[in-house]
Structure 1
């Protein structure tokens, strides 16, 4: 039986609604209590649907003195001051910004609401002048400093990334508007801004250099997202139901949840967190799906990757970078990694303290296979809705030992790539091979290598182990000989499964697999 009293807050971003409606809530108020005890202006960058809006709403409830909403939570055990402050909550997420007029209209919407309370004397001025005036008037009239909460500060900028003149217009407008928060410091009790992306200091925030950017600071690493312990403490009945529905043990269920939805790390050595949107949705429908990935299509990011001629194999295997190269995004840069990281498609996996370098990689299987599935149509002729069919056929053929059928299908696959894609570099075809074998890895043990000294690809099925070597304008015989000479079979000699080595020729003239030799 489903306990109807246990309600999942899917799509609810208002703290008051969650608490009054008795929805399940992962208690983050200990960190909230710590932050509100200061008057420091904060900035937090996190991917979409990670709980930023709920966090903003939680701050709003606190500064409106809503002590009743926090009963039983961690903050209620702390020494906190439940005073009522004037709160200016700016949400830029609720509009599509096609022109500067749209951004002005959104700012006006907020300003007019506050001016109706605190005075309209500056209503004919520019938005930044009105903002500065209304902050001062609110403080003078109430005798309390003002709280400013900005949700998705960068939404207009993100919508204009492929239109640099429009982007520059938005940047100038927002730079002036947010710059008020520095000059009005004496009137401000608390400032908190969130967004997906942190644009470089020479951009939006150059006048707001007093912000405490907590995006990569260890004490705040889990302020958004769900830790494994929080998952178990808050959702054990849901985990049990999920296990029962899918005929799994509780341990296997947590393991699968971890593989699919955990793995986001927002600073070195930080505890990983689960994506809250996917967690709530898997508990709602008891099916393991790519919930978070499906809510946004990274078309612009893929276009950036292709335009910059970025080697996708490097991205898929993991990228080494220092913090400065991925923590801030510059619109004029052709480096796609900062935006891919800040959007949540890459996360921190390792850190080298000696050289202060980070290893960035996909956080989990939901993002890994979701991203690669999304990429494949850009590099091939596979329709979006037929990817699993193609990959499934490849897997079935190898599982049944039918290597000729597998390579014949691969040959037909390359033959279907349209002419405009055929006129591509060698890297393009290497990338397609790479994607196919990597996507097979979600259904069977498939590895594809880009480093020298190892077989190009290895696929392990319940009955067989395949060792592939591809030769570009070489012969299948040479490929088989390389497998022998380099000892690629040695790691599998003790395995009980049948080992098959396969030499494959790839012709640059036909841009296709031209011949192959399987050998047991």
Structure 2
């Protein structure tokens, strides 16, 4: 049985070891029918490096004798294009550029990466180029590329240039090192000059094609202003499935490994769709795409250890996506980020293919460009088309979890309750069905928030804060806005596939918020009772009861939905939670 290629980005190694491979070679002819100098953008962990490595093996003239070995059983093996094994391939990866030691060290690192790639290329093709290595005095990036272009042109050959993670170093220095970024990519900047040299290579005829990958178009607009030959193909309809998996491919993998003999098959497929699926890269397509590494992480663990991983979200994915979220935070305030998270769908907007760093600070361009950035980073995806624009939303549970982690810090949960106290309160909720302690913590968190945090405080904010507390516990599966009987429940939480024994109760909760301006003030002459909170409740009893009645009617309507009743064997508890102003929480169980 073939091994799962989790973490493998070397195509020839994957094929030599006979590892499982989802055939993506049908996209080669699609790419050849597009412009010759292209930029391709996808979120992290989608398999860009492996795809680039596959292109290298396909076009490399040194690999012609191995074509059948590496491609014979694939689509392109039976549909070989004229360009197969016809080129000198120069592949450069900027994944390891050093960014934390200052501009000079960054440039030195950039030079070493490019000159090393060029030197390896010359050595690899020395029988064709007639050169042994890159001369010592040609070790600067632009000189090295120019040198290779000249000797290739003299031999009447052509280069295919493949660049991986073109924007990796830029993503690291955009946050807090904008001055270095500007020096490198603006007119006369070191990196911008390098891309001008690429353009020169295409003009001379030495570089016949480029395929450049990254996670964001931000640097693209800055570095290619002097080399405007590049086309962005990230959002092309026919390339939606070029990376990642579709539903059919997921079922193929699950069936091949007979994973249904280890875990319940339909439950696994549902988990994969919930945690890993949801990405769309064109508004006209109906099929959503799964993140490659998110899927392989779960499947590899089941195959190797005969059980689900202890955490369904890969720590490597969390690290990468948290870093990307941090990039976005550089251009958006905490208040704006919370509004974005709490708002559900985002838009309508027109996704921008090109925008530079400066535009993310400009008021008139910021709204569209920041949301476009989050889309390219994989933090948002296309949900639906609305006239000539699109609505965006969070793609899946794994990405939602990253936002919930952000909310935990933004709402300063740790300042309101120690982790052990929160864990104990959640255990009471899960195991004994008692919510008093978690509701007390919930009220504490709301009271502690600053006026700035509460400027746009609304019903969605109320729900988001509670979700943050539930997520921190890490046991429940959270379904916010679960569709039920023609409407949406505010919050439905139940046992996940892991730690089922830790959950005896699931919950359906409806939140209602009464704005401060709607509350009747307690007059100084009124009878004092045991607490200020009780006075506010007594003074607004009619309004509170009205909100409860609305919530009760909604819950009863949702309960008629068969999927909610039969969703689990765990006992279902139903609660109404009323938040009065920005201070008090009133709750009631509906039986």
2:103 is equivalent to residue 100 of structure 1: yes
Partner of 1:368: 400
Partner of 2:375: 341
Following the alignment from structure 1 to structure 2, what is the Cα–Cα distance between the partners of residues 232 and 379?
40
Following the alignment from structure 1 to structure 2, what is the Cα–Cα distance between the partners of residues 401 and 479?
28
Q: Specify whether residues 390 and 350 from structure 1 end up closer, same or farther in structure 2 by C-alpha distance, changes over 3 A only.
A: farther
2:559 is equivalent to residue 516 of structure 1: no
- Paired residue secondary structure (1:88): strand
- Paired residue secondary structure (1:83): coil
2:441 is equivalent to residue 427 of structure 1: no
2:8 is equivalent to residue 12 of structure 1: yes
**Given that residues 466 and 499 in structure 1 are in contact (C-alpha distance below 8 angstroms), is that contact kept between their aligned partners in structure 2?**
yes
- Paired residue secondary structure (1:42): strand
The one of 349, 357, 362 aligned to 1:322: 349
2:234 is equivalent to residue 210 of structure 1: no
Alignment of 1:173-188 (within 5 A): 173-185=190-202, 186-188=205-207
**Given that residues 455 and 467 in structure 1 are in contact (C-alpha distance below 8 angstroms), is that contact kept between their aligned partners in structure 2?**
no
How far 1:159 sits from its partner (Å)? 0.8
Partner of 2:292: 276
- Paired residue secondary structure (1:176): helix
How far 1:403 sits from its partner (Å)? 4.9
Following the alignment from structure 2 to structure 1, what is the Cα–Cα distance between the partners of residues 463 and 577?
16
Q: Specify whether residues 279 and 387 from structure 1 end up closer, same or farther in structure 2 by C-alpha distance, changes over 3 A only.
A: farther
The one of 292, 310, 313 aligned to 1:290: 313
How far 1:58 sits from its partner (Å)? 0.8
Partner of 2:36: 40
**Given that residues 391 and 436 in structure 1 are in contact (C-alpha distance below 8 angstroms), is that contact kept between their aligned partners in structure 2?**
no
> 1:142-180 CA distances to partner (integer Å, 9 max, x unpaired)?
x21111110011111111112110111232322211122
**Given that residues 39 and 212 in structure 2 are in contact (C-alpha distance below 8 angstroms), is that contact kept between their aligned partners in structure 1?**
yes
**Given that residues 226 and 276 in structure 1 are in contact (C-alpha distance below 8 angstroms), is that contact kept between their aligned partners in structure 2?**
yes
Q: Specify whether residues 100 and 195 from structure 1 end up closer, same or farther in structure 2 by C-alpha distance, changes over 3 A only.
A: same
**Given that residues 320 and 360 in structure 1 are in contact (C-alpha distance below 8 angstroms), is that contact kept between their aligned partners in structure 2?**
yes
> 1:98-127 CA distances to partner (integer Å, 9 max, x unpaired)?
333323333334325535655757935853
- Paired residue secondary structure (2:209): strand
How far 1:26 sits from its partner (Å)? 0.9
Following the alignment from structure 2 to structure 1, what is the Cα–Cα distance between the partners of residues 506 and 50?
50
- Paired residue secondary structure (2:413): coil
Following the alignment from structure 1 to structure 2, what is the Cα–Cα distance between the partners of residues 227 and 109?
35
Q: Specify whether residues 436 and 245 from structure 1 end up closer, same or farther in structure 2 by C-alpha distance, changes over 3 A only.
A: farther
Partner of 1:147: 160
Following the alignment from structure 2 to structure 1, what is the Cα–Cα distance between the partners of residues 33 and 481?
51
**TM-score, normalization by structure 1:** 0.83
- Paired residue secondary structure (2:274): helix
How well do the aligned residues superpose, as a CA RMSD in angstroms?
A: 3.6
The one of 566, 577, 580 aligned to 1:505: 580
How far 1:480 sits from its partner (Å)? 1.8
Q: Specify whether residues 72 and 332 from structure 1 end up closer, same or farther in structure 2 by C-alpha distance, changes over 3 A only.
A: same
**TM-score, normalization by structure 2:** 0.74
How far 1:30 sits from its partner (Å)? 0.9
Partner of 1:451: none
**Given that residues 264 and 272 in structure 1 are in contact (C-alpha distance below 8 angstroms), is that contact kept between their aligned partners in structure 2?**
yes
How far 1:377 sits from its partner (Å)? 1.9
The one of 385, 397, 414 aligned to 2:429: 397
How far 1:17 sits from its partner (Å)? 0.5
How far 1:360 sits from its partner (Å)? 1.1
Partner of 1:437: 466
| Structure 1 range deviating more: 161-170 or 214-223 | 161-170
Following the alignment from structure 1 to structure 2, what is the Cα–Cα distance between the partners of residues 326 and 377?
32
The one of 128, 132, 144 aligned to 2:146: 132
2:160 is equivalent to residue 161 of structure 1: no
How far 1:258 sits from its partner (Å)? 0.9
Q: Specify whether residues 55 and 302 from structure 1 end up closer, same or farther in structure 2 by C-alpha distance, changes over 3 A only.
A: closer
- Paired residue secondary structure (2:222): coil
| Structure 1 range deviating more: 154-163 or 399-408 | 399-408
Q: Specify whether residues 381 and 12 from structure 1 end up closer, same or farther in structure 2 by C-alpha distance, changes over 3 A only.
A: same
Following the alignment from structure 2 to structure 1, what is the Cα–Cα distance between the partners of residues 237 and 488?
40
Q: Specify whether residues 468 and 223 from structure 1 end up closer, same or farther in structure 2 by C-alpha distance, changes over 3 A only.
A: closer
Following the alignment from structure 2 to structure 1, what is the Cα–Cα distance between the partners of residues 491 and 70?
56
Q: Specify whether residues 104 and 275 from structure 1 end up closer, same or farther in structure 2 by C-alpha distance, changes over 3 A only.
A: same
2:209 is equivalent to residue 190 of structure 1: yes
How far 1:399 sits from its partner (Å)? 8.4
Following the alignment from structure 1 to structure 2, what is the Cα–Cα distance between the partners of residues 318 and 212?
29
Following the alignment from structure 1 to structure 2, what is the Cα–Cα distance between the partners of residues 165 and 204?
15
Partner of 1:22: 18
How far 1:45 sits from its partner (Å)? 0.4
**Given that residues 313 and 398 in structure 2 are in contact (C-alpha distance below 8 angstroms), is that contact kept between their aligned partners in structure 1?**
yes
Following the alignment from structure 2 to structure 1, what is the Cα–Cα distance between the partners of residues 488 and 578?
11
**Given that residues 63 and 85 in structure 1 are in contact (C-alpha distance below 8 angstroms), is that contact kept between their aligned partners in structure 2?**
yes
How far 1:394 sits from its partner (Å)? 4.7
Partner of 2:500: none
| Structure 1 range deviating more: 148-157 or 495-504 | 495-504
- Structure 2 stretches lacking a partner, 5+ long: 124-130, 303-307, 495-504, 520-535, 561-571
Q: Specify whether residues 225 and 467 from structure 1 end up closer, same or farther in structure 2 by C-alpha distance, changes over 3 A only.
A: closer
How far 1:422 sits from its partner (Å)? 3.7
- Structure 1 stretches lacking a partner, 5+ long: 449-453
How far 1:38 sits from its partner (Å)? 6.6
Partner of 2:184: 170
Q: Specify whether residues 39 and 144 from structure 1 end up closer, same or farther in structure 2 by C-alpha distance, changes over 3 A only.
A: farther
Following the alignment from structure 1 to structure 2, what is the Cα–Cα distance between the partners of residues 499 and 125?
69
Following the alignment from structure 2 to structure 1, what is the Cα–Cα distance between the partners of residues 409 and 145?
47
> 1:181-233 CA distances to partner (integer Å, 9 max, x unpaired)?
22222222221100011127641122232223110001111111111112222
How far 1:279 sits from its partner (Å)? 1.1
Following the alignment from structure 2 to structure 1, what is the Cα–Cα distance between the partners of residues 288 and 419?
30
